[in-house]
Chain A
Amino acid sequence: MITVNDLSKDFTLHMLGGKTIRACRNVSFHVPKGGFLGLSGVSGAGKSTVLKCLYRTYIPSSGSIVYDSMILGAVDLVTLGDREVIAIRHKEMGYVSQFLQVIPRVSAVHTVMEPILARNGVTRAEARERAEDLLRRLNIPSGLFDACPSTFSGGEQQRVNIARAVSWKPRLLLLDEPTASLDRNSVGVVLGILRELRDQGTTMIGIFHDKDLMGRVTDRVYQMA
């Protein structure tokens, strides 16, 4: 499904006289379809950098990321054009960040509905039902569904964020510490949701702060130095 070969990322800081900072170097791994790879390593080892390179938020400095796309065939995400990356993000690839990017004036339930409506060709009512189901499972009180998440607690925001990212069932899901701000109870629910997604065929690559947790959900761990 996805093969990373000799991936490195350097940041050139022009404001510091062109100083180069190496964020990750010579990363290579392969994730088969339906697999779940964990990325492990100390803080600053470049775990998030790898995920952001895969999502192309960062432009990798060298190496290749060959992804078997459903719509475009085998492509190298390192050199792929912007429009094609947007198409893959839209149809296949999801990303869960550590924090919710709140959209002004958009309610929690609409935040989760938007990606479903934009993709799956379902009616508004169906999208709303699916969004409400997810939020309910994640223990968001139904009284908050129509409130704007900017007023929510950190944990609630993060649960909305996860609901938004998984609601449209992406084919490849990248997870950057999705459970870092959640209590034990919510973590259990999130793991359940991730397992379900996997059963439906989603391939995943994730970073988890908790080693124990990582062992429970992933089937292989890539150790970063």
Chain B
Amino acid sequence: MNPEKPLIRVRALGKRFGEGCIRCKGVTDPEAASNRCPRCGTIHALSGVSFDVYPNEALGVVGESGSGKSTLVRLLHFEWTADRGSFHIHRRAVTGPMTETFFNGDEYSYNLLDISPFQKRQIRNALMGIVYQNPNLGLRMQVSSGGNIAERLIAAGFRRIGTMRERAGGLLEKTEIPVARMDEAPSRFSGGMQQRVQIAKALSNNPLILFLDEVTTGLDLSVQARVLDLIRSLKDELKLSMLVVSHDLGVIRLLCQRTLVMKSGCVVESGLTDQILEDPQHRYTQLLVSSRL
């Protein structure tokens, strides 16, 4: 895969909740107080977000709650459907049953927002992994850790039990979960361990793209450091591209070289992470940076 070509290309991505009206535009932009139209009540969760993520790059996304960070992840992970915009993955990156379809087009020919739900699932199973802030969303708490990983492996096309157990064991080892506890359910684990099982599950299909949605929020400091250390080492080892959503600027500084700053569903500033933190340009970014501990 050519490192100079974006792996992911997102253009003018939009999502709103409500019908919208003619007055919406202008009263819901980042300069306004909120992204909810006072007249029709429509919430503009994302309004025209564009960015690229390159191979083996971690792109940070920061912003206050309600700025659209999680909406962005949910749209790209096909959990919600977008209203407008485009989402392309470089055709070279596509593997699995979709390869042939993609190979016929040019580099970024298929808008992934337009393909069928079945195809979306195939793309997700073959190329994506996700780690949520809340392990309840990413794991089945009553099913064993190994079973959680196997579920994803089956979705990605694995069939032999022996192979799957071996792979699950390897992943748990990599995320520092004792393999002896592979058959225990995550409900019996601590929060930090659950988060690491979630990471193991997210990595099980060898994804190219990993979505991290506030992965360290709510973990205590030592566990947070452990999870971050793990993510840092896995990124380079597995050549992952990551979208790192966090409101913790320290996490972004540690993991990402480039960062987007979001406010009211728009990207108000993007740039090198150290530049965003030390020479923020936009009014909102200046407020955000000056508010950190």
Contacts and interface: CB of A to CB of B under 8 A. Distances in A.
A12 B232 CA distance: 34
Prevailing SS type, chain B contact patch: helix
A58 B278 contact: yes
Prevailing SS type, chain A contact patch: mixed
Contacts of B283: 14-15
B281 interface: yes
A15 B286 contact: yes
Contacts, number: 51
B85 interface: no
B219 interface: no
Contact of B272 (A12, A86, A118): A86
A125 interface: no
Nearest to B250: A104
A145 B281 CA distance: 40
A57 interface: yes
Contacts of A59: 271, 275, 279, 281
B32 interface: no
A216 interface: no
Interface stretch (B7-15, B65-73, B181-189, B221-229): B221-229
B258 A82 contact: yes
Contacts of A137: none
Contact of B275 (A15, A58, A105): A58
B229 A57 contact: no
Nearest to B278: A57
A52 B279 CA distance: 10
Nearest to B230: A105
A79 B275 CA distance: 14
A105 B229 contact: yes
A56 B272 CA distance: 8
B54 interface: yes
Interface string A105-131: 110000000000010000000000000
B287 A104 contact: no
Interface in B52-68: 54
A104 B225 contact: yes
Given A15-B283, A57-B272, A57-B279, A105 B258 contact: no
Contacts of A101: 253
A13 interface: yes
A52 B286 contact: no
A104 B230 CA distance: 11
A119 B283 CA distance: 37
Interface string A24-60: 0000000000000000000000000000100011110
Given A59-B275, A82-B272, A104-B228, 6 more contacts: A14-B287, A58-B278, A83-B54, A86-B257, A101-B253, A104-B229
9 contacts: A15-B287, A15-B290, A52-B279, A57-B272, A57-B274, A58-B278, A58-B279, A101-B253, A106-B229
Interface of A: 11-15, 52, 56-59, 82-83, 85-86, 101, 103-106, 118
